[in-house]
Amino acid sequence: MAAVETDPATSEQAPPAVLVDRDEPIATVTMNRPGQLNALSNELMGGVVQAMHELDRDRAIRAIVLTGSERAFAAGADIKEMSSLTPIEFAFGARVEQWDALRAVRAPLVAAVSGHCLGGGCELAMICDIVIASETASFGQPETGVGIIPGAGGTQRLVRAIGKAKAMDMILSGRTLSATEAERAGLVSRVVTREMYLREAQDVARAVAARAPIAQTLAKEAVDRAADMGLGDGLAFERKSLYLAFASDDAREGLAAFSERRRPEWSWK
Ligand code: CO8
């Protein structure tokens, strides 16, 4: 498992904040501050972004799993680090760019969530395309309890995922959702046992990676656009994306392979 290079000034003795394990065609990115429940420090977020972008540019990698530890996917932004920021440093520092950079990742992202998934941790899971949860996972947006509000999509993506009533309850009362509740509400794709959550997420990533990569990228973009567009514009965008997929060599290959009863070979063209 490779460690993402971090600032030598801060990481000489500290273990790497992010680990990357390649097992083509998938890779697993592990947040590695277990003692701090994977609180999202600048270094940790920087490591996640760097790893995601390197993997996203690598055509041998077709899906990425993002995970933490069994006790915590991530317990939110690093409160101790954040408390020393000035508002201007907050607004114009790396943090905002890091979140925008994750949104731009085109490869399918599968979150493997166990334990605490709070604040920025829950927002990170929501940026992923598929969320696999351990039965121990617990989802929350507790930011108002420390005097701030969700700032990486919690007031927007959560409402779209589970609706206003439940989102307001989580954000204003600090209520957490169990994995089963989160699945029922639409925040989580699948719930499995504590022993299986990472393996299940990697199996899902392999299934995603086996399908036509251009079609997967276009499908991901179209689904993401659903949140930004009215139905008419969304349907028009979907149709254009279908035509683009249809123009690919991989579409010819996939359609021929079905008729010829063989496994398709994707060329990414
Ligand atoms: N930040 C920093 N350190 C943390 C965090 C955190 N979010 N969460 C846990 N830790 C640390 C603790 O300080 C403790 O460290 P130490 O042992 O050195 O004191 C260690 O992790 C273990 O934590 P606890 O002892 O508290 O463990 P418990 O099992 O007792 O409690 C909880 C677990 C309930 C998860 C508790 O740690 C907790 O409430 N954590 C904070 C949760 C929270 O409020 N999260 C929201 C943070 S704000 C946010 O995410 C805003 C995102 C905005 C992004 C904007 C981008 C532009």
Q: pLDDT tens digits, residue range 175-195? A: 999 999 999 999 999 999 999
Are 200 and 175 in the same domain?
yes
4 pLDDT higher than 90: no
33 in ligand 1 pocket by Cβ < 6 Å? no
Task: Output the pTM of the full model.
Answer: 0.94
Residue 267 placed within a domain? no
Determine whether 253 is an active site residue.
Answer: no
Torsional class of 268: left (φ above 0), alpha (ψ -120 to 50), beta (otherwise): left
Confidence of residue 93 (pLDDT cuts 50, 70, 90): confident
9 pLDDT higher than 60: no
Are 83 and 115 in the same domain?
yes
Q: What is the DSSP letter of 145?
A: G
Environment class of 132 (CB within 10 Å of its CB; exposed 0-12, middle 13-18, buried 19+): buried
Determine whether 143 is an active site residue.
Answer: yes
Q: How far is the CA of 37 from the centre of ligand 1 (A)?
A: 7
Residue 160 placed within a domain? yes
Distance CA 97, CA 92 (A): 9
Write the pLDDT tens digit of every residue in 196-226.
999 999 999 999 999 999 999 999 999 999 9
Residue 14, pLDDT score: 79
Are 105 and 236 in the same domain?
no
Q: Over pLDDT 90: what percentage of the chain? A: 91
Residue 196, pLDDT score: 98
Are 58 and 133 in the same domain?
yes
Are 118 and 205 in the same domain?
yes
Are 252 and 172 in the same domain?
no
Q: Which of 17, 27, 72, 77 is catalytic?
A: 77
Question: What is the pLDDT averaged over residues 8-33?
Answer: 87
Q: Over pLDDT 70: what percentage of the chain? A: 96
Write the pLDDT tens digit of every residue in 110-158.
999 999 999 999 999 999 999 999 999 999 999 999 999 999 999 999 9
Write the pLDDT tens digit of every residue in 162-172.
999 999 999 99
Number of domains in the chain: 2
- 44, 73, 79, 156: residue to mutate for ligand 1 pocket, most atoms within 8 A of CB: 79
143 in ligand 1 pocket by Cβ < 6 Å? yes
Are 117 and 163 in the same domain?
yes
Q: Which domain holds residue 246?
A: 213-260
Q: Which atom of ligand 1 is nearest to the CA of 90?
A: 57
Write the pLDDT tens digit of every residue in 27-82.
999 999 999 999 999 999 999 999 999 999 999 999 999 999 999 999 999 999 99
Other Cβ atoms closer than 10 A to 216: 22
Q: What is the CATH number of the domain that holds 245?
A: 1.10.12
Residue 95, pLDDT score: 87
Residue 42 placed within a domain? yes
User: Sign of the CA dihedral 206, 207, 208, 210?
Assistant: positive
